[in-house]
């Protein structure tokens, strides 16, 4: 890898893409390119192909996706399946047909079966049923993993897929209609604190267990994958530890300073009972997570406070 190699980060303004951009810039890479969704519609095959053909980056990092929590996945299944397939298929096809030999595809732990043995190994993919509440997003990402595997096997190109656990950090989505659990809790507890410590209602029972990875750790995993030729096509990226949703809520409540009651709405779904990733393959190669959850939540809440005036509700 040369520091002046052209690197295209798809989705460079999102939480993951912006963290990847920061990580590569800090590491000295000086030829990073990105396009906003207004400048380049990744769902449009001809636009994507022309862009990749003209720019000819040495490396493509696919951090672009339509994302959201249980509510958004449940309410907009068509968009979550179709748009994610369009985005990744266009990028992968354009990379392959323009002979770009290094491609990093980013997915999610939701690709694995709902009741997979814990911790979840890469080999558990497609061994059982998916979690119904996010199956649309999961199926799209599984197809991306398999496309990269097919190109790697058939054409011997360095296409690799990284599957992070639940991510959080700066530039997260704090919209209550479409966000994931951690940023949603930060916003709920903050707004309740501002509203005279009003009660906070959270979905489910609070008993499911989840693993959380700071986005800066994820960005370091992407940097590691680019700077090294990984021997396999699929790697989990996580911390190796998890907490209950109730423990997470109490941690965030304390950090925010909310002193009201927490109410659990058991009529709402819990989702998968547990999702702990086995990241030993990545760890054995030399990458390890470094940001501890409490400090990560603290810095994320600080970022939330610094940027609260810029938030806009997400319309789907």
Specify whether 137 is catalytic.
yes
Which residues fall in the annotated binding site for substrate? 188, 203, 210, 270
Say how far residue 206 (Cα) sits from the centre of its chain: 22
Catalytic choice (29, 112, 137, 235)? 137
Positions annotated as catalytic residues are 137
């Amino acid at each position: 890898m040369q520091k002046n190699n052209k690197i295209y980060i798809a989705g460079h303004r999102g939480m993951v893409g912006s963290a990847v951009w920061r990580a590569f810039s800090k590491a000295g890479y000086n030829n990073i390119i990105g396009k906003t969704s207004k400048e380049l519609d990744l769902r449009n095959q001809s636009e994507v192909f022309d862009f990749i053909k003209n720019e000819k980056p040495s490396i493509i990092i696919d951090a672009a996706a339509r994302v959201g929590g249980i509510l958004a996945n449940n309410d907009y299944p068509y968009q979550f399946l179709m748009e994610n397939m369009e985005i990744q298929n266009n990028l992968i096809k354009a990379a392959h047909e323009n002979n770009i030999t290094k491609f990093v595809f980013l997915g999610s732990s939701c690709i694995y079966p709902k009741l997979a043995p814990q911790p979840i190994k890469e080999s558990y993919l497609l061994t059982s049923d998916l979690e119904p509440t996010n199956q649309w997003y999961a199926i799209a990402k599984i197809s991306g993993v398999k496309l990269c595997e097919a190109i790697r096997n058939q054409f011997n190109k360095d296409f690799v897929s990284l599957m992070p656990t639940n991510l959080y950090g700066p530039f997260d989505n704090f919209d209550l209609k479409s966000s994931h659990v951690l940023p949603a809790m930060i916003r709920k507890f903050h707004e309740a604190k501002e509203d005279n410590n009003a009660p906070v209602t959270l979905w489910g029972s609070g008993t499911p267990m989840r693993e959380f990875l700071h986005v800066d750790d994820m960005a370091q995993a992407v940097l590691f994958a680019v700077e090294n030729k990984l021997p396999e096509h699929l790697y989990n990226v996580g911390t190796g530890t998890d907490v209950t949703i109730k423990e997470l809520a109490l941690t965030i409540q304390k950090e925010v300073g909310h002193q009201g009651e927490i109410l659990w709405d058991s009529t709402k779904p819990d989702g998968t009972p547990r999702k702990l990733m086995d990241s030993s393959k990545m760890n054995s190669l030399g990458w390890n997570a470094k940001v501890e959850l409490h400090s990560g939540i603290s810095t994320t809440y600080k970022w939330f406070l610094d940027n609260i005036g810029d938030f806009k509700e997400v319309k789907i």
